[in-house]
A and B are shown apart, each in its own frame.
Chain A
Amino acid sequence: MMLEYVLGLSAYLFSIGIYGLITSRNMVRALMCLELILNAVNINFVTFSDFFDSRQLKGNIFSIFVISIAAAEAAIGPAIVSSIYRNRKSIRINQLNLLNK
């Protein structure tokens, strides 16, 4: 029962993260929704590792790798956003055509 509940919560987080990632006009909010999606994946990894693999715990290892990749992404993302903000004075996501000139 707990397994289905947690998997349902993870599916909810994943769908709402995709919704926010598509419809957000603010770039920082898009980064937040990306974190939501990665957290949904992490919940799935940890729950399956606890229920199916409680001796080896390889899902925990993969979730640690996902967390560190998310840390690298969260270092790169605001750097790019701040560089765009210095050039354009705006962080709206539909003004990302800096590369065409």
Chain B
Amino acid sequence: MNLPGPIHDFLLVFLGLGLILGGLGVVLLTNPIFSAFSLGLVLVCISLFYILSNSHFVAAAQLLIYVGAINVLILFAVMFMNGSEYYKDFNLWTVGNGLTSLICTSLFVLLITIISNTTWYGIIWTTRANQIIEQDLVSNGQQIGIHLSTDFFLPFEFISIILLVALIGAIATARQ
């Protein structure tokens, strides 16, 4: 998306802040309903990130499927099975939590070090040089449609079969 520079940077920082706070809220809030709403905030922020990185079709699919279907389904699951048992987990900090937070922090630091040590712009210029010949004839949505109907046709059909089997299995599992 071709926004002017300061607006683009402000949107990036704003969405990143929402994503960080929402991710903390999913894990650390004690009430599961609050963490489900915080998951919705994270998903909306990710969808706006997709719009900022020129992928409008994936942004629309993210907003429809994740926020409209999966998050509502998780909210229904929380409301169906909301016992009074989450009060017992209040302030229950064990050794395993500390060990896991140590491991996850070290994983995060490792990933950040690898990301900052890689020279991305060399890779960008070598791949851009190969693409400079091809013309921009089709838009992004048309490109996705062409891929889905030609060389990703078999995985597309398999995905539909997987969705059908999963829905039938979910109905058969949740039935009384």
Contact residues on A (Cβ < 8 Å of other chain), bracket = 35 or more
The main secondary structure of chain B at its interface with chain A is helix
Q: How near does chain B come to A100, taking the closest CB pair, in angstroms? A: 19
Asked if A101 is at the interface (CB within 8 A of a chain B CB), the reply is no
Q: How many A-B residue pairs have CB under 8 A?
A: 208
- Please, which residue of chain B has its CB at the minimum distance from the CB of A51? B124
- Residue pair A12, B85 in contact (C-beta under 8 Å): no
Identify the B interface with A (CB < 8 A): 12, 16, 19-20, 23-24, 26-27, 32, 35-36, 39, 42-43, 46, 49-50, 53-55, 57-58, 61-62, 65-66, 69-70, 73-74, 76-78, 80-81, 83, 85-86, 89, 96-97, 100-101, 104-105, 107-108, 111-112, 115-116, 120, 123-124, 127, 131, 134, 136, 140, 143-144, 147-148, 152, 155, 159, 162-163, 166-167, 169-171, 173-174, 176
Identify the A interface with B (CB < 8 A): 2-9, 11-20, 22-26, 28-29, 31-33, 35-36, 39, 42-43, 46-47, 49-58, 60-61, 63-65, 67-76, 78-83, 85-86, 89-92
